[in-house]
Structure 1
Amino acid sequence: MKKILIAAASLVALTAPVSAQEVSNFGGAKVGAMVGYDKVRLEYDGLDGSKDGFLYGLTAGYDVDFGTAVIGIEGEVSDSSTKETVTDLLVEGDRWSLSTGRDLYVGARLGFPVNPTVMLYAKGGYTNARAKLSVSYDGDSASEGDNLDGYRVGGGAEFTNGGHFARLEYRYSDYGSYEYEDFDTGIKAKRHQIAVTGGFRF
């Protein structure tokens, strides 16, 4: 019995440092910058068009690391070069252009560390995008800026060494049906993005 107890104590002593090394490094505050790909799609009555652009922005948040799971909140401000133009949308000869502006996001994410330096995660939250709509028809034109409310979901992989982090992420945003001067145009706005983010943890 004494030999068994000594062997058990030795095993615990040997495995304790290994267990300590398995603690992941995804907790705490973080700030970062992002670049990536932005695709805006407009849909109306079975018709659709899309345009690509360049995504850029800043992000900040806070994560709580429970070891087997990570829960966090984050905010983001971004912009892109994307501009979508569709013709003959409501009547023949019309021209609708939607230029993207600043995009604000706040949401939560749930992650699962694969090892101390790699985590897979999913996210979701609220997004508010600024857009400028321009309409022209038969020589007349009008334009107006507006905010589009919607939701965002996404997921990706994050890598960290404790003090720095990098991640690759896919995001889908849905802004519902666009209203112009209280008139529901029936035009639905959506966007797909792939973002690469790098930053600091502290």
Structure 2
Amino acid sequence: MRTLTLITLAASAAASPAFAQDAPFNGPRVEIIAGWDHSNLPTADMSDGLTYGGAIGYDVQRGNTVFGVESEITGSTIDRGHQITPDTSIRGAIGRDLYVGGRVGVAVAPNTLIYAKGGYTNVRSYLDYHSPTFNQDGSGIQGGYRVGAGAEVKLTEKTYIRSEYRYSDYGGNDRHQVVGGVGIRF
């Protein structure tokens, strides 16, 4: 019986990849992100711009599987104005975006994680409308959900880069983003 137990332990140790025991995608992390931003929010008039900001998160790796939580704050350069008539104009802009959610991934190599994510997001948008008979300046916050997928590649013991596509829906108005990030894991 003792021999059978030792053989079983040795076989299970050999079956687990070495990189999963090292847990390279485990612990707290912080990163900066930037990338392409496309919005069809009414104030942005189907515009493209740059998104930029930062994120924090915490991951737990068990075997090849990684579970994590994260939050993020970003800004956007989307800001468009239109002169409707000589004395009537409209301007729309996208402001800050807050996100909180989770991710689940698989370590497909000792330094590479493929993941999917999802959570809550809300965006602040601005609308200015000026005409001879009516003026309106205002902002609003729209909440919704975000889903996405990406890859994270470990560069050193503590640093990594990542690339990600994400889709956000704010109650019928949507947003597509492709971002890259550079981060430090503690």
1:18-167 matches, cutoff 5 A: 19-23=17-21, 24-42=23-41, 49-84=45-80, 96-137=90-131, 139-160=133-154, 161-167=156-162
- 1:175 corresponds to which of 158, 170, 175: 170
Aligned partners of 1:85, 1:39: CA distance in 2, in Å?
16
Q: Kindly provide the amino acid, as one letter, of the partner of residue 70 in structure 1.
A: V
* Contact 1:26/1:162 (<8 A) preserved: no
Q: Kindly provide the amino acid, as one letter, of the partner of residue 196 in structure 1.
A: G
In structure 2, the residue matched to 1:189 is 173
In structure 2, the CA distance between the partners of 1:62 and 1:21, relative to structure 1 (3 Å rule), is closer
Secondary structure, counterpart of 2:40 in structure 1: strand
Aligned residues: 173
Q: CA deviation at 1:131?
A: 1.1
Q: Kindly provide the amino acid, as one letter, of the partner of residue 56 in structure 1.
A: Y
Normalising by structure 2, report the TM-score.
Answer: 0.81
Aligned partners of 2:160, 2:144: CA distance in 1, in Å?
28
Q: CA deviation at 1:85?
A: 5.3
The CA deviation string for residues 150-176 of structure 1, in whole angstroms up to 9 with x for no partner, is 111111111113311110001111111
Aligned partners of 1:153, 1:65: CA distance in 2, in Å?
21
In structure 2, the CA distance between the partners of 1:111 and 1:86, relative to structure 1 (3 Å rule), is farther
RMSD: 2.7
2:183 maps to 1:199: yes
Q: Give unpaired runs (5+ residues) of structure 1.
A: 89-93, 177-187
Q: Give unpaired runs (5+ residues) of structure 2.
A: none
Q: CA deviation at 1:27?
A: 0.7
Aligned partners of 1:107, 1:25: CA distance in 2, in Å?
21
Secondary structure, counterpart of 2:18 in structure 1: helix
The CA deviation string for residues 127-158 of structure 1, in whole angstroms up to 9 with x for no partner, is 11111122345653211012111111111111
In structure 2, the CA distance between the partners of 1:19 and 1:150, relative to structure 1 (3 Å rule), is closer
Normalising by structure 1, report the TM-score.
Answer: 0.75
